[in-house]
Amino acid sequence: MLAASGVTADGYAYLLSRGVPADRLDALIPLFDLRYDDQERRVVFPVREGGVDLGYTARAIDAKQRKRWLSHPVEGGHKVVIYEPDRVLAGGDTLFVVEGPFDALMVTAAMQPSNDSVATAFFGSLPTSEQLAYVTNAIPLYRMVYIMLDANVYGRCRRLAQDLAKATGAPNVGSIHIGGENRDPGATRFAELEALVAFASASWQTEIRWMWERRLVFGGVA
Burial call 169-199: b when 16+ CB within 10 Å, e when fewer: eeebbbbbbbbeebebbbbbeeebbbbbbbb
Sequence-distant (≥ 6) Cβ neighbours of residue 193 within 8 angstroms: 19, 106, 107, 110, 185
Write out pLDDT tens, residues 81-132.
999 999 999 999 999 999 999 999 999 999 998 999 999 999 999 999 999 9
Judge if 215 and 188 occupy the same domain.
yes
Write out pLDDT tens, residues 51-64.
899 999 999 999 88
Judge if 59 and 41 occupy the same domain.
yes
- How confident is the model at residue 154, as a pLDDT? 94
Judge if 70 and 168 occupy the same domain.
no
Mean pLDDT of 193-207: 97
Q: How confident is the model at residue 222 (pLDDT cuts 50, 70, 90)?
A: very low
Judge if 169 and 69 occupy the same domain.
no
| Rounded Cα gap, residues 213 and 220, in angstroms | 9
Judge if 131 and 108 occupy the same domain.
yes
Amino acid identity, residue 218?
Answer: F
Sequence-distant (≥ 6) Cβ neighbours of residue 2 within 8 angstroms: 8, 11, 12, 15, 29, 34, 35, 36, 43
Q: How confident is the model at residue 76 (pLDDT cuts 50, 70, 90)?
A: confident
Calculate what percentage of the chain has a pLDDT beyond 90.
86
Write out pLDDT tens, residues 6-49.
999 999 999 999 989 999 999 999 999 999 999 999 999 999 99
Tell me the H-state helices in 59-209: 85-88, 101-109, 129-138, 154-168, 190-200
CATH number assigned to the domain comprising residue 67: 3.90.980.10
- Residue 221 in this model has a pLDDT that exceeds 60: no
| Prior bond of 73 cis (ω within 30°) | yes
- How confident is the model at residue 220, as a pLDDT? 54
Judge if 65 and 91 occupy the same domain.
no
Judge if 197 and 169 occupy the same domain.
yes
- How confident is the model at residue 97, as a pLDDT? 99
Is 212 exposed, middle or buried, given 0-12, 13-18 or 19+ CB atoms closer than 10 A?
exposed
Range of the domain at 29: 1-78
Write down which residue in 57, 78, 99 finishes a domain.
78
Judge if 93 and 178 occupy the same domain.
yes
Write out pLDDT tens, residues 135-171.
999 999 999 999 999 999 999 999 999 999 999 999 9
Domain count, the chain: 2
Question: Higher-confidence residue: 212 or 110?
Answer: 110
| Rounded Cα gap, residues 14 and 7, in angstroms | 13
Write down which residue in 47, 78, 109 finishes a domain.
78
- How confident is the model at residue 77, as a pLDDT? 75
Question: Higher-confidence residue: 182 or 157?
Answer: 157
- How confident is the model at residue 137, as a pLDDT? 98
